[in-house]
Structure 1
Amino acid sequence: MLHTLLSILVFLPLTYPAIVRNGVQRPSDDGNDDPHPKPPGSRVPVPSLYSQRYSEQTFIGTHDSVALRTPENGWSISGNQYYDVSVQLRSGVRMLQAQGHRDPAGSEEIRLCHFNCALMDGGSLTEHLDAVKTFLEANPYEVVTLLFVNTGPPLEHWAQAFFDTGLDLMSYIPSRSKRGGSMHLDDWPTVADMVSSNKRLVTFLSSGANENLVPYLLNQFDYMFETNFGIDEPDQYTCAPARPRWWDPSYIPPRLSLVNHFLYAQFLGFRYPNATYANTTNAAGFHVGELGEHAARCRSLYERRPNFFLVDFFSEGDVFDVEFGMNAF
C-alpha cells in the first residue's frame, strides 16, 4: 500500500490548488502547465576571499541535490532541483546535500534517495562522487563541501565509495586535537591552503561518523550548527541554532553555520518542495520570506558571514547575488 501511494505521488501532475489558511492563500505548486525552469545563474567569486579561511565566507548549497524534477520523471513533485549536480557545480553551487540509504536491492552500494528510495532515487553515492571528482579535477582552485544525511548505511560503505573514486585522497582532514567539537572558526585553513595541499573536499555525515577510523568523514554537529527546516510559511525562517541543541538557546557557537532556506507546500497532508514560489523564496530582496532578507538577518545575529545557505531550485531567484552580497562586504 505504501509503495503504491509513493508511486502515485512521484508522478502526480502539478495541478493542485493553493493552500488556504485562515482565509489567506499560501504559496503552493498550483501551475496548470509544465514548469519552465530558468537557466542557472553563475557564481561571482570574491578574489580577496581566496586567502581567507574556509570558515570566513558564504557558499550556496543545494538541498537534496540529486532529487531532480525533470520532464523524464514527469516533473516529479519529489524533486528539489531542476538541474543535476554537474550543472550545479559548474554554475557555482559549493555545497551538495543528499540523503544516503541502504540499497533496497540488498547490495552494499549506498543509494541517494529522497526520504524513501521508492519515492525518489537519485542514483548511487559512487556516481555522485564521480561527478564531484570530475569537477574538482577540472577546477583545481575550487573547494566543495558535501553534507550527507546518513539514514543507516555503515561507515565502511561510505568509506569504500570515497576510496573507489579516489576522493579520500582529496579530502580535508582536521588535526586530531580539533575533533570532537574542538574546532572553532579560526582553526579552519584558508582556501589557498586547501588548494595548495589539494585537500579541497570537505565532507560531513549527520550520524555514523568515526574520525578515528575514517578521518575525512566528519561528524556534522561537531563542526557546524544548523537552523530549523521543514518550513511551510515564508515568515517561519529563523537564524537560531536548532541542531545541536544548546542549554542557552540564544548562544551562537563558534562553528560553521548552515542556514536552511527552502519552502514546502502540502497536498492531502503530504509535504513536497514548493517550486511555484521558488523565485520569491530565492530572491535577493529584503521582503519576508526572501533569501536576501534571511541572509541579512542571520549575518546580523551571528556578527559574521553565514557559511552555507541550503536552497531548493537553486536556478530560480537570485541565490548567487545573495552569496556575492554576503562575501563582498
Structure 2
Amino acid sequence: MLFHLVWLGALAAAQSSQPILTLSGSNRRLTGADATPTLSLSDFEASTFGTGTMSDLSARTGTVNATASGTTSENPLTLLVGGTRTTAVSGNVTASTTTTTARPSNTQPCNNYPEFCTRRYSNITEVCAHNSPFARKNNAGSNQQYGVTQQLNDGIRMLQGQTHLVNGTLYYCHTSCELLNVGTVEGYLTEVTEWVRSHPFDVITIIFGNFDYEQKDANGNPLVTSKNFLEPIENSGLKQFIYQPPKTAMTLEDWPTLGELIVKGKRVITFIDYNYDTNAVPYMLWEFYNMWETPYSPTDVNFPCTVGRPEGLSQNKSRSMLYMANHNLNVEVSIAGTSLLIPNTVDLNVTNGLNGTGSLGLMAERCTADWGRPPNFLLVDYYNAGPFNGSVFEVAARANNVTYNRECCGAESVATVLVRPLGVWLGMVVAVVVGLML
C-alpha cells in the first residue's frame, strides 16, 4: 500500500519544549502477508517497519524498545524524536542523535485532518451516529441507512446505541427487541474492532446506552451495569485499543491530544450513560461525569443549547466538560394509546443542513455563541442525508476551522430514498404496534 507519511503527532505547539515523535517516509510500500499500514507504539513493537535498529527512542507519550524488521520498498523510514533533537534511522544502522531546530510539517491526518493530531480530544467537533447499530431497511426503529463500517469510513467518529439484556446476553435493540434487534453487542463491537485495527490514525468514541438501567436483581441491585459489557468488549478484541483515563471525571484540560492517543495505541474512548462501575470497569467512564447533552430526543425544531442531561448541572461545571448537541429531529406518533418517537425523515434536508431554522449549522453556531466553544459531538440521524452529501461533516469542519474535502457518503445518496418514508414507516409502526399488542 503506497502512502506518504510525515507525522508530528505527540504534542501541540504550546508544548514544544517537550519531546515530539515524528514518523516520516515517502512512497513506502509494506510487503509480506502480515504487513499493515500502521504506525503506533504497538506497531513498532510488532516490528512492521523498516530495516534499521531502534533502541530507546523516547517520546513524551511512550518509549520504543524494539528492533524493526519487515520488508519495504523505495524510501527508508525516518524517525525524529525530541523537541530539538532528531534521530534518523536509515538502512542497517543504530539510531543516534543530532541537534537541529528544523521540524517537518504534519501531513498525516488524524481523524481525517492533519490539524487534529496536536489538538486535544476535548478540542475537536465530531459527528455522532445516533443509534448507530440501527440501520435496517424498511424498519421503523432505524436511525441510520448504513452499517457501522460504512459510517466510520464516511467520517463518523462517535457511535451511540441502545442496549438490552436478553437471557444474559447484551443486544442492540431499539425500544424493544421485538421492534428492532440488530444482533449482539459483541458482534457489533467485533466489526468496530476490525475497523479500528485497520485505521491506526483514528480515534473513536462509543457511548453505550443502558436501556435496562432501572431493572433490579433479587437483592435490589442494578441488574445491568458496566460489568455486563466486559465480556463483549473482551471477546470482540476491542479492549486492547481502549484508553483508560487517569480520572473518572475528566475536565477539558485533562484530555490528551489525538496524537498522544494514537502513539499509545489507545484510540477508543468508552462511556456508559447509566449504572457505571469504574471500580470494575475503570476504562468505561460515566458519561455525565464527563459530558453533558442538550435536550434528548428533541421534537423542537429550535434545538435549544441548554443542558438537558444531567439535570442540575451548574454553569461553572458544564463549562469544564465535554458536551454533545442532540440534533436528531423526531416526530411523535400515537397509536392505540402507545406513543412512539421516530425520525422525522421528511425534513432531513433542513435538519442536517448548514443554514436556516432547525438546521445543524445554525445549532452549532448558536451553541458556540452560548458556551464560547463548539459542541464536541453533533448527534444526528441519517448522517448521509442533507442538502448535499456530507453536509453534517461540513458543519463539523466549520466548527473545527478546517476544510472539508472528503467524498461522502456510502454507496449511494439517500436523498431520494428518504423523501418518502414517513408515510411508509407510519404504516409499519402501526403493524408493529398492533403485533406487539396481540
- The bucket for the TM-score relative to the shorter chain is 0.7 to 0.9
CA distance in 2, matches of 1:100, 1:253: 29
Q: 8 Å contact 2:130–2:143 — kept in the other structure? A: yes
Matched residue type, 1:283? G
Alpha-carbon distance in structure 1 between the residues aligned to 2:398 and 2:275: 36
2:282 to 204, 211, 215: 215
Structure 2: gaps of 5 or more residues: 1-109, 213-223, 403-438
Q: 1:250 to 1:215 in 2, by over 3 A?
A: closer
Mapped partners of 1:281, 1:68: distance in 2? 19
Number of the residue aligned with 2:266: 199
Which runs of no fewer than 5 residues in structure 1 stay unpaired?
A: 1-42
C-alpha distance in structure 1 between counterparts of 2:284 and 2:139, whole Å: 31
Aligned to 1:138: 198
How many equivalent residue pairs? 274
Match among 281, 293, 313 for residue 362 of structure 2: 293
Rate the CA distance shift 1:288–1:306 in 2: closer, same or farther, 3 A: same
Distance (whole Å) between structure 2 residues aligned to residue 310 and residue 80 of structure 1: 11
- Give 3-state SS (helix, strand or coil) of 1:277's partner: helix
Question: Does 2:349 align with 1:279?
Answer: yes
8 A Cα contact 1:284 1:292, kept in partner: yes
2:397 aligned residue: 324
In structure 2, give the amino acid aligned to 1:160.
Answer: E
d(CA) in 2 for partners of 1:306, 1:281: 16
- State the identity as a percent: 32
In the superposition, the TM-score normalised over structure 2's length comes to 0.60
Matching residue's letter, 2:319 = P
CA distance in 2, matches of 1:281, 1:220: 25
- Say whether residues 1:266 and 2:336 are aligned partners: no
8 Å CA contact 1:264, 1:271 repeated in 2: yes
Paired AA for residue 309 in structure 1: L
CA distance in 2, matches of 1:250, 1:321: 30
> Which position in structure 2 is the counterpart of 1:101?
164
Aligned to 2:156, the other structure's residue is in SS state: coil
CA contact (8 A) 1:168 1:216 kept: no
1:174-200: CA deviation from partner (whole Å, max 9, x where unpaired): 11xx22x3x210100000000000100
Residues 122 and 376 in structure 2, CA contact (< 8 A), matched pair in contact too: yes
Higher strand share: 2
Q: 2:379 aligns with which of 310, 318, 326?
A: 310
Cα distance change on mapping 1:261 and 1:132 into 2, 3 Å: same
Residue 44 (structure 1) shift: 8.4
Closer, same or farther in 2 for the Cα pair 1:264/1:320, shift >3 Å?
Answer: same
- Rg bigger for which structure? 2
Contact 2:307 2:313 in 1 (8 A): no
1:255 aligns with 321
Q: What is the TM-score with the length of structure 1 in the denominator? A: 0.79
| Match status 1:114 vs 2:174 | yes
Q: Once the two structures are superposed, what CA deviation does each residue of 1:209-264 show, in whole Å capped at 9, x if it has no partner?
A: 211211111111111011102222312x0111121123646873311101100111
Please tell me the residue identity of whatever aligns with 2:380. Answer: V
Aligned 1:152-167 pairs, distance under 5 A: 152=212, 153-167=224-238
> How has the CA–CA distance of structure 1 residues 186 and 251 changed in structure 2, closer, same or farther, with 3 Å as cutoff?
closer
Of 115, 118, 125, which residue of structure 2 is paired with 1:48?
A: 115
Bigger helix share:
1
What is the letter of the counterpart of residue 96 of structure 1?
A: L
Cα deviation, 1:60-85, whole Å, max 9, x if unaligned, reads 00111111241xxxx12221111111
Shift of 1:94: 0.4
**Higher relative contact order (CA closer than 8 Å, sequence separation 6+):** 1
In structure 1, how many angstroms separate the alpha carbons of the residues matched to 2:317 and 2:295? 15
